[in-house]
Amino acid sequence: MPNRTVFFVSDGTGITAETFGNSILAQFAIKPRHIRRPFIDSIDKAEKVVSEINATFDAEGVRPIVFITLALDDAHQVLTSPRCKGFVMDMFKAFVEPLEVEFGLKSNHRIGRFSDAAKSQEYNDRIEAINFSLAHDDGQSAKNLEAADVILVGVSRSGKTPTSLYLAMQHGIKAANYPLIPEDFDRGALPASLAPHKRKCFGLTIDPDRLSQIRNERRPGSKYAAIENCRAEVREAETMMKRAGISWLSSTHKSIEEIATTILRDIRPDRLIY
Amino acid sequence: MPNRTVFFVSDGTGITAETFGNSILAQFAIKPRHIRRPFIDSIDKAEKVVSEINATFDAEGVRPIVFITLALDDAHQVLTSPRCKGFVMDMFKAFVEPLEVEFGLKSNHRIGRFSDAAKSQEYNDRIEAINFSLAHDDGQSAKNLEAADVILVGVSRSGKTPTSLYLAMQHGIKAANYPLIPEDFDRGALPASLAPHKRKCFGLTIDPDRLSQIRNERRPGSKYAAIENCRAEVREAETMMKRAGISWLSSTHKSIEEIATTILRDIRPDRLIY
Q: For every one of its 274 residues, what pLDDT tens digit does chain A have, with 9 covering 90 and above?
A: 456 899 999 999 988 888 888 888 888 888 889 899 999 999 999 999 999 999 999 999 999 999 999 988 999 999 999 999 999 999 888 888 889 999 888 888 776 666 555 568 888 889 999 999 999 999 888 888 999 999 999 999 999 999 999 999 999 999 999 999 999 999 989 999 998 999 899 999 999 999 999 999 989 999 999 999 999 999 999 999 999 999 999 999 999 999 999 999 887 544 444 4
The structural domain count of chain A equals: 2
For the CA atoms of B90, B9, A132, B157, the dihedral, rounded to the nearest 10 degrees, stands at: 0
Asked, for residue B46, whether it belongs to a domain, the answer is yes
Which domain covers residue A129, as residue numbers?
118-271
Could you tell me if A91 and A123 lie in one domain? no
Asked, for residue B215, whether it belongs to a domain, the answer is yes
Could you tell me if A164 and A238 lie in one domain? yes
Q: Taking 80 as the threshold, does the pLDDT of residue B21 lie above it?
A: yes
Of the candidates B115, B97, B113, which has an alpha carbon nearest to the alpha carbon of residue B105? Answer: B97
Helix (H) or strand (E) holding B135: helix B121-135
Asked, for residue B112, whether it belongs to a domain, the answer is no
Nearest CA in chain A to B33: A270
What are the φ/ψ torsions at residue B110 (nearest 5 degrees)? -80, 135
Which among B30, B36, B169 is the nearest to A169, CB-wise? B169
Whether residue B108 and residue A169 make contact (CB cut-off 8 A), yes or no, is no
Asked, for residue B111, whether it belongs to a domain, the answer is no
ipTM computed for the complex? 0.87
The alpha carbon of B190 is separated from its chain's Cα centroid by a whole number of angstroms, namely 29
Instruction: Give B210's pLDDT tier (boundaries 50, 70, 90).
Output: very high
The reply to whether B36 sits in an annotated binding site is no
The nearest CA of chain B is from the CA of A118 a distance in Å of: 5
Could you tell me if A98 and A209 lie in one domain? no
Asked, for residue A109, whether it belongs to a domain, the answer is no
Could you tell me if B158 and B206 lie in one domain? yes
Instruction: Give B118's pLDDT tier (boundaries 50, 70, 90).
Output: low
The nearest CA of chain B is from the CA of A107 a distance in Å of: 5
Average of per-residue pLDDT across B59-74: 93
Give the number of beta-carbon pairs within 8 Å between A and B.
212
pLDDT tens digits, residue range B69-106?
A: 998 899 999 999 999 999 999 988 888 888 999 988 88
End-to-end CA separation in angstroms for chain A? 36
Strand order across the B248-250 sheet: B175-179, B150-154, B201-205, B248-250
The nearest CA of chain A is from the CA of B199 a distance in Å of: 23
Chain B residues with CB-CB distance to A98 below 8 A:
87, 89
Chain B residues with CB-CB distance to A113 below 8 A:
22-23, 26
Chain A residues with CB-CB distance to B113 below 8 A:
22-23, 26
Asked, for residue A108, whether it belongs to a domain, the answer is no
Which among B27, B134, B253 is the nearest to A118, CB-wise? B253
Single out the residue in A75, A103, A131 at which a domain terminates: A103
Number of other residues whose CB lies within 10 A of the CB of residue B192: 10
CA distance A177 to A154: 8
Asked, for residue B108, whether it belongs to a domain, the answer is no
pLDDT of amino acid B274: 42
Residues A68, A69, A71, CA angle at the centre, nearest 5°?
Answer: 130
Chain A residues with CB-CB distance to B13 below 8 A:
257-258, 260-261
Could you tell me if A16 and A65 lie in one domain? yes
CA distance A116 to A130: 19
Which among A19, A34, A265 is the nearest to B20, CB-wise? A19
Whether residue B114 and residue A13 make contact (CB cut-off 8 A), yes or no, is no
Could you tell me if A217 and A82 lie in one domain? no
Out of A103-112, A148-157, B23-32, B134-143, least confident range? A103-112
Whether residue A253 and residue B99 make contact (CB cut-off 8 A), yes or no, is no
CA distance A123 to A224: 40
Single out the residue in B69, B103, B137 at which a domain terminates: B103
Backbone CA torsion sign across B41, B47, B52, B54: positive
Could you tell me if A42 and A99 lie in one domain? yes
Of the candidates B120, B119, B117, B93, which has an alpha carbon nearest to the alpha carbon of residue B107? Answer: B93
Sequence-distant (≥ 6) Cβ neighbours of residue B164 within 8 angstroms: B133, B136, B137, B152, B175, B176, B177
Nearest CA in chain B to A127: B162
Average of per-residue pLDDT across B12-28: 87
Chain A residues with CB-CB distance to B65 below 8 A:
99, 102
Could you tell me if B81 and B190 lie in one domain? no
- What CATH code is carried by the domain that includes residue B242? 3.40.50
Could you tell me if B153 and B192 lie in one domain? yes
Strand-pair partners of B189: none
Asked, for residue A170, whether it belongs to a domain, the answer is yes
Could you tell me if A254 and A124 lie in one domain? yes
Could you tell me if A84 and A126 lie in one domain? no
Single out the residue in A47, A77, A103 at which a domain terminates: A103
Could you tell me if B139 and B231 lie in one domain? yes
Q: Taking 90 as the threshold, does the pLDDT of residue B221 lie above it?
A: yes
